[in-house]
């Protein structure tokens, strides 16, 4: 189990050192735009570094959607992100589960996920992340995640799961019981996004908060990390000092150095 943070992408190694992070997560392109990743001059340095790096896809991706104007660029962006992630030796590429619009059937979203992964060429595992809200979501509730995992059981693409604590809380799922149920479904949790929540249980609002300050019970946040036994990054508000404090917060409660 390694503990770290989502950091600015310019110099991940220096950003990790400033936070006392064992592991980092970065964007390789703008998080809210359809822009391909730029070629990194430090790709070989990052690949050779012992620092584990995870890559988060842009937030605007929606692999599940029935809207071709979003689905097609989403597939293209996922491929570009996976290809770029391989050049830096990333451990995984995180992408939100997405949703289908309006009254469209969830089955269409599941089929779109299968088709996207069947057509994806990647050596880096795709880690699907649970989401906080969204009507007709693919990965908000545990039941929805189970349906998605059953639909993707036949896919050969390397696949994993990323658990976000704020999202699970906002989705109205009990954290400790929910984490155990998710392990039964997905087998292994590959990455934890350890975030407190600014909003109440079941709010369906994705607003992260500093650890120990928000609406999630401290002991539940700690126990999720113990149960998941996976690399863990905070995506909490603030910069290096605040992230360092959050990493220290969870280290002390886990009794690790």
pLDDT tens by residue, 218-249: 999 999 999 999 999 999 999 999 999 999 99
In this predicted structure, what is the pLDDT of residue 192? Answer: 98
| pLDDT class of 255 with cuts at 50, 70, 90 | very high
pLDDT tens by residue, 150-190: 999 999 999 999 999 999 999 999 999 999 999 999 999 99
In this predicted structure, what is the pLDDT of residue 102? Answer: 87
Per DSSP, the three-state class of 132 is coil
Structure token pair of residue 167 = 């999202």
- Is residue 146 scored above 90 in pLDDT? yes
**CB of 145 within 8 A of CB of 186?**
yes
In this predicted structure, what is the pLDDT of residue 210? Answer: 98
pLDDT tens by residue, 61-85: 999 999 999 999 999 999 999 999 9
In this predicted structure, what is the pLDDT of residue 86? Answer: 98
Tell whether domain 3-254 is in CATH 3.40.50.720: no
In this predicted structure, what is the pLDDT of residue 1? Answer: 85
Mean per-residue pLDDT of the chain:
97
Q: How far is CA 15 from CA 4, 25, 86, 256, in A?
A: 10, 10, 20, 21
**CB of 92 within 8 A of CB of 54?**
yes
Q: How far is CA 70 from the centre of its chain?
A: 20
- Is residue 257 scored above 80 in pLDDT? no
In this predicted structure, what is the pLDDT of residue 134? Answer: 83
pLDDT (average), residues 182-210: 98
Structure token pair of residue 41 = 């001059």
pLDDT (average), residues 3-32: 98
Q: What is the DSSP letter of 38?
A: P
Angle at 211 between CA 184 and CA 4, to 5 degrees: 70
Q: How many residues does the chain have?
A: 257
- Return all residues near 256 (Cβ < 8 A) that are at least 6 apart: 1, 3
In this predicted structure, what is the pLDDT of residue 209? Answer: 98
Structure token pair of residue 234 = 């905070």
In this predicted structure, what is the pLDDT of residue 193? Answer: 98
Weakest mean pLDDT among 3-7, 135-139, 156-160, 178-182: 135-139
In this predicted structure, what is the pLDDT of residue 135? Answer: 81
Task: Say what percent of the chain tops pLDDT 90.
Answer: 97
């Amino acid at each position: 189990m390694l503990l770290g943070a989502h950091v600015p992408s310019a110099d991940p190694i220096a950003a990790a050192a400033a936070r006392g992070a064992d592991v980092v997560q970065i964007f390789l392109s703008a998080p809210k735009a359809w822009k391909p990743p730029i070629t990194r001059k430090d790709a070989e340095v990052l690949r050779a570094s012992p620092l584990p790096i995870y890559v988060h896809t842009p937030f605007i991706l929606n692999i599940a959607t029935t809207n071709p104007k979003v689905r097609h660029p989403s597939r293209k962006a996922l491929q570009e992100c996976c290809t770029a992630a391989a050049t830096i030796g990333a451990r995984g590429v995180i992408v939100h589960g997405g949703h289908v619009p309006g009254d469209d059937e969830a089955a269409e979203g599941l089929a779109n996920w299968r088709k996207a992964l069947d057509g994806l060429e990647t050596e880096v595992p795709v880690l699907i992340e649970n989401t906080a809200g969204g009507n007709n979501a693919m990965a908000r509730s545990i039941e929805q995640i189970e349906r998605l995992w059953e639909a993707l059981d036949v896919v050969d693409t390397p696949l994993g799961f990323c658990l976000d604590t704020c999202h699970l809380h906002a989705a109205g799922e009990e954290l400790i019981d929910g984490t155990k149920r998710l392990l039964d479904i997905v087998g292994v949790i590959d990455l934890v996004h350890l975030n407190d929540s600014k909003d109440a249980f079941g709010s369906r609002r994705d607003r992260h908060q500093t650890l120990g300050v928000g609406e999630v019970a401290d002991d539940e946040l700690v126990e999720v990390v113990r149960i998941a036994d996976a690399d863990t990054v905070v995506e909490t508000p603030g910069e290096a000092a605040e992230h360092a404090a959050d990493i220290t917060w969870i280290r002390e409660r886990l009794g690790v150095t």
